[in-house]
Amino acid sequence: MTVRPTHTLCPHVPVPALPPEGTIGVIAPAGPAALDTDKAVQWMRARGYSLKVFPGVYEKDGYLAGSDDVRLNDLHGAFADDDVNAIICLRGGYGTPRLLDRVDFRLLRDNAKPFIGYSDITALHLAISRYAGFVTFHGPLLNADLLGNKQKPTESSFFNMLRGQVKAGSVLTHPVACPLSTIEPGIAHGRLLGGNLSMIAATMGTPYEIDAEGVILFIEDINEPLYRIDRLLTHLRLAGTLHKLRGVLVGDIAGVDVPALERLLKQTFAPLRIPVLSGWRSGHCDPNVTLPMGALVRLDAGKQELVLEQEVVIR
């Protein structure tokens, strides 16, 4: 079965590519973490890049990396800074949704650049997609992933995507050692959007909830038992979100029995008659492959392929 568009989707705007010897800004919009600055600077320098660390990275306010004002100022400052070519988040945790109703999306749109993170950062991916309309990247966090020595596909997919080496028409690379599973076969064209399933559900009923019309939904999660995954998916079904989708790409659902998860996915999505591919290594996993949020893609669940259908960065 092929799920074809019922209306035209305007592609999200590509962002400028990360240039050689560019500068990557580090912000902490969610939780705190100790950053070994010297190690981070040396790691980036070895790959040809400079690092600019924003003030909130060094702060801690309970379970938050600094106050809401500090974290919001860093977000705005990193986008407004002409010397910063890309922005990576320090870690996830909690705190990003607290910023959403104060974000200046016009400032972000006028200074669009690669923005990278996952987990709690999903809230910003969804909000930027809805209100700023440029491509962002569900990809590694600085501390847990890049400095955490995750397997090489984590780093290579990150830099290949940001440098513009992944072109329209490319089949997105997935680690051969990590098998995929076709839950429902078929082909779908749509905009790839999503991230952490708990965060997607948490934004429902707010102005920042996922705009699911014509979307290929990407989901991943951690520390959620199967019954909670069921509850989260049921929430989206009852809210009418799942019925708007063209396809589903399931990332890593850490800690859940895989056969049991696949049975739940089959029960949830088979009635919708849309393609579903599971096992994609993005999220709280190793390796953690970078995905372009908001980009037009083609999902072929039978062939177990995800094909990029637009440029996501421009040189």
Active site residue 220: yes
Which member of 184, 220, 224, 311 is catalytic? 220
Amino acid identity, position 91? R
DSSP secondary-structure letter at 102? G
Which member of 224, 282, 284, 311 is catalytic? 284
Which member of 12, 76, 119, 138 is catalytic? 119
DSSP secondary-structure letter at 173? P
The C-alpha atoms of residue 297 and residue 89 are separated, in whole angstroms, by 25
The C-alpha atoms of residue 105 and residue 95 are separated, in whole angstroms, by 18
SS3 call for 184 = strand
Strands (DSSP E) found in the chain: 2-3, 15-16, 23-27, 50-53, 86-89, 115-117, 136-138, 181-184, 187-196, 215-222, 247-254, 276-278, 291-293, 296-300, 305-308, 313-314
Active site residue 156: no
Q: How many residues does the chain have?
A: 315
29 and 95 Cβ atoms separated by less than 8 Å? yes
Query: What are the angstrom distances between the C-alpha of 176 and each of 3, 51, 304?
Result: 27, 32, 11
* Residues whose CB is less than 8 angstroms from the CB of residue 278 and which lie 6 or more positions away in sequence, other chains included: 180, 181, 182, 183, 250, 261, 262, 265
The C-alpha atoms of residue 79 and residue 192 are separated, in whole angstroms, by 23
Active site residue 181: no
* Residues whose CB is less than 8 angstroms from the CB of residue 257 and which lie 6 or more positions away in sequence, other chains included: 226
**What are the residues facing 299 on neighbouring strands?**
188, 306
The C-alpha atoms of residue 155 and residue 208 are separated, in whole angstroms, by 30
Active site residues: 119, 220, 284
